[in-house]
């Protein structure tokens, strides 16, 4: 039962196993769509709701991704996409907190693009986080890429509006 739950979470309901697009793209897009839905559902409370969701998502991600990777006997299987969900969500949550509101569509797309670039490029020190054991190594690099993406977008938005 625990294995089935871990697999369902880590692959985001099987999306990582089933879709032809790269799992990282699928996970990031799923997070973006879920964040937009959350912002529409609770527009005045987007930042607090995003932070609560992130607080729940992170430990679940570490556990589920670690358990599924161990089951598959791979370090970071491509089908595991919950780590991308967590990283993308972190970028959007940071942006919502900094803005004090839900990101507008173009801002959300900017966070998506920045996260994808940083997640793929994995600049120093992000790539070093992959060395952490188990689920921590799977999730930490994506979380760092998400935080960096959110911070870069905040800086860019401040430059544009200054």
DSSP secondary structure string, 20-39? Answer: SS-HHHHHHHHHHHHHHHHH
For the chain, the domain total comes to 1
* Cβ atoms 92, 108 nearer than 8 A: yes
Is residue 144 very low, low, confident or very high in pLDDT (cuts 50, 70, 90)?
Answer: very high
Q: What range does the domain containing 151 cover?
A: 2-161
pLDDT digit string (tens) for 62-102? Answer: 999 999 999 999 988 888 999 999 999 999 999 999 999 99
Report the alpha-carbon distance of residue 105 to residue 113 in Å, rounded: 12
Q: 85, 12 in Cβ contact below 8 A? A: yes
* Burial class of residue 20 in the structure, from the number of CB atoms within 10 Å of its CB (0-12 exposed, 13-18 middle, 19+ buried): exposed
**pTM for the full model?**
0.92
Contact call for residues 162 and 104 (beta carbons, < 8 A)? no
Q: What phi and psi values does residue 124 have, to the nearest 5 degrees?
A: -60, 140
CB 49 within 8 A of CB 55: no
Show Cβ contacts of residue 144 under 8 Å, excluding neighbours closer than 6 positions: 87, 125, 126, 129
14-71 pLDDT tens trace: 888 776 666 677 789 889 998 998 888 877 788 898 899 999 999 999 999 999 999 9
């Amino acid at each position: 039962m625990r294995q089935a739950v871990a697999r369902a979470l880590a692959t985001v309901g099987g999306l990582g196993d089933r879709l032809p697009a790269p799992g990282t793209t699928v996970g990031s897009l799923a997070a973006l769509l879920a964040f937009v839905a959350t912002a529409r559902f609770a527009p005045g409370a987007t930042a607090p709701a995003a932070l609560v969701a992130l607080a729940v998502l992170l430990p679940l991600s570490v556990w589920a991704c670690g358990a599924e990777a161990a089951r598959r006997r791979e370090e970071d299987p491509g089908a595991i996409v919950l780590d991308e969900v967590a990283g993308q969500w972190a970028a959007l949550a940071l942006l919502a907190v900094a803005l004090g509101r839900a990101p507008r569509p173009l801002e959300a797309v900017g966070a998506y693009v920045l996260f994808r670039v940083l997640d793929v490029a994995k600049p120093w020190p992000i790539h070093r986080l992959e060395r952490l054991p188990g689920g921590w190594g799977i999730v930490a690099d994506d979380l760092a890429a998400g935080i960096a993406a959110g911070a870069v977008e905040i800086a860019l938005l401040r430059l544009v509006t200054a």
